[in-house]
Structure 1
Amino acid sequence: MRDSNLIAAAVCLLALGGCAATASPDWDARFGDSVRILKAQQLIEPGAPARNAQASLATDGRTAREAMDRHVESYRSPPPTTVINIGNIGTGR
């Protein structure tokens, strides 16, 4: 009898828990605000893309091809790294 009362009480508590008010509507109303704010803060000048739309279209084919060739070549033979030796700093001796 005691176990059945305990189970019935647990079922009632779980059923009443579903009726409890949650803060989810408040959270859902502001979902994604932080991302939108951070994206807006990273944009220095909001009107720049519309104002400079024609400037990016002025590149001719030869210039674009040469730029791509230089870009690909930079991965084939990267520039040599400069090593600066300052003695035995940090070797523990």
Structure 2
Amino acid sequence: MQVYKLMMSMGGVVMASLMAGCSSTPYLDSRFGEAVDMALAQQTINQQASQSTDPVSGIDGKAAREAMGRYHDSFKTPPSTANILTIDVLGGGGK
């Protein structure tokens, strides 16, 4: 009978601890995502860039078209893996 009472009281303590932990989340929930928003703002150079009507300068149309063409073509054929150095770490040897 003593063991039963001890188990019930320990269960009550555990449940009370869990309930106390759940009651502290409103503060954390109100600040959820704040670090991500701050990091995004710190990594953005010009926050009003979307409102600018000034055209982009620095590269002409032909060079940009060729660069984008090479970029898109790089996904059509995977890069060659012929010159990759392989090291047998596990010692299987493959013999």
Structure with higher helix content: 1
Deviations 1:22-71 (A, max 9, x none): 3211111101101101111111211123204x625xx76xx254333555
For structure 1, the residue ranges without an aligned partner over 5 or more in a row are 74-93
Q: Which gives a bigger RCO, structure 1 or 2 (Cα 8 Å, sep 6+)?
A: 2
Alignment partner of 1:32 is 2:33: yes
Instruction: State the aligned residue count.
Output: 70
- Structure 1 equivalent of residue 11 of structure 2: 11
For structure 2, the residue ranges without an aligned partner over 5 or more in a row are 75-95
- Structure 1 equivalent of residue 43 of structure 2: 42
Q: Distance between the aligned counterparts of 2:15 and 2:65, measured in 1? A: 68
Report the alpha carbon displacement of residue 3 of structure 1 after superposing the two structures with TM. 0.9
Q: Distance between the aligned counterparts of 1:19 and 1:70, measured in 2? A: 58
- Structure 1 equivalent of residue 67 of structure 2: 67
Q: Could you say which structure has the larger radius of gyration? A: 1
Report the alpha carbon displacement of residue 19 of structure 1 after superposing the two structures with TM. 4.0
- Structure 1 equivalent of residue 87 of structure 2: none
- Structure 2 equivalent of residue 23 of structure 1: 24
TM-score normalized with structure 2 length: 0.52
Q: Distance between the aligned counterparts of 1:45 and 1:37, measured in 2? A: 15
TM-score normalized with structure 1 length: 0.52
Report the alpha carbon displacement of residue 18 of structure 1 after superposing the two structures with TM. 4.2
Q: Distance between the aligned counterparts of 1:69 and 1:19, measured in 2? A: 59
Q: Distance between the aligned counterparts of 1:18 and 1:69, measured in 2? A: 58
